[in-house]
Copies of this chain bind each other. A is one copy, B any other.
Amino acid sequence: MRHEVLPVARHMPSLHGLPLAAPEVLLCGCPELVGTSFSYGREEEIFGEGEDAEFVYKVVHGAVRTCKMLSDGRRQIDAFHLPGDLFGFETAARHRMTAEAVADTTVLLFRRRQIEDTANRDVATARKLWDVTMRTLGHAQEHMILLGRRTALERVAAFLTHMDERLGGSGQVDLAMPRRDIADYLGLTLETVSRALSQLQQDGVLRLDGARKIMLDRSRMAAIVED
């Protein structure tokens, strides 16, 4: 973290005198839950597995990965969080994941205590928090069938299709993360990810413009992913 002690207002545009915060800095659209901006450099840790879960985070720009590791270094990335996404929710005391910035990233921090207080007063907020968790669960369940039952080519195609959807569905995908992160998300090695991309390019399903910019043929992509 760039700032150890929540320095908050100093580094932000002042909100003094403003009756309402912009919706972008709110959690669940709730006017009481105004976030504080923070920045992290590429590869910087946002929170670690087992740490006290004091904050909930919302990505403003950049990208974040949440992951678990085994003692021998094997890593599984659970999700990539892009602008607008929430992460770091817990109902228990501690984080069960590590969160790191994939690229230079700005997030909004929300005090968990404050969120829970709000949820205890307002059933609509409580319901929204439940919805967020349920959507996260839905993603995890989709990811399990990918990890358990899909081939390398299908995994890469599914990943690109999903990223495209999250980035607007234009077919023009701009990846924020290196091959190793994609591999650790898909349960593959970086070489296999690279080969799958080359294969897909060979087959005319996508076109690489450098390593990070990819143009997809969305319908042919969907045909590979089919479920």
Q: Which residues of B contact A68 (CB under 8 A)?
A: 141-142, 144-145
Q: Which residues of B contact A149 (CB under 8 A)?
A: 70, 74-76, 187
Instruction: Give A142-161 as 1s and 0s: 1 = Cβ < 8 Å from B's Cβ atoms.
Output: 11110111100000000000
Q: Which residues of B contact A226 (CB under 8 A)?
A: 70-71
Q: Which residues of B contact A70 (CB under 8 A)?
A: 145, 149-150, 226-227
How far apart are the CA atoms of A145 and B52 in the complex, in Å? 22
**Chain B residue at minimum C-beta to C-beta distance from A116:** B127
| A156-174 with Cβ < 8 A to chain B | none
**Chain B residue at minimum C-beta to C-beta distance from A183:** B148
**A76-B149, A120-B123, A227-B71 known; A144 and B133 CB under 8 Å?**
no
Q: Would A130 and B78 count as touching, CB distance under 8 A?
A: no
How far apart are the CA atoms of A76 and B145 in the complex, in Å? 5
Give the number of chain A interface residues (Cβ < 8 Å): 42
**Chain B residue at minimum C-beta to C-beta distance from A131:** B91
How far apart are the CA atoms of A193 and B133 in the complex, in Å? 33
A137 at the interface (CB under 8 A from B): yes
Q: Which residues of B contact A134 (CB under 8 A)?
A: 89-92, 133
Q: Which residues of B contact A121 (CB under 8 A)?
A: 123
Give the shortest distance, in Å, between A135 (CB) and chain B (any CB).
8
A138 at the interface (CB under 8 A from B): yes
A103 at the interface (CB under 8 A from B): no
Q: Which residues of B contact A147 (CB under 8 A)?
A: 144, 147-148, 187
**A70-B149, A187-B149, A226-B71 known; A97 and B141 CB under 8 Å?**
yes
Q: Which residues of B contact A131 (CB under 8 A)?
A: 91
Chain B CB count within 10 A is highest, among A76, A138, A141, for A141
- Within the complex, which residue of B76, B130, B142, B186 is in contact with A133, where a contact is CB–CB below 8 Å? B130
A119 at the interface (CB under 8 A from B): yes
Give the shortest distance, in Å, between A58 (CB) and chain B (any CB).
18
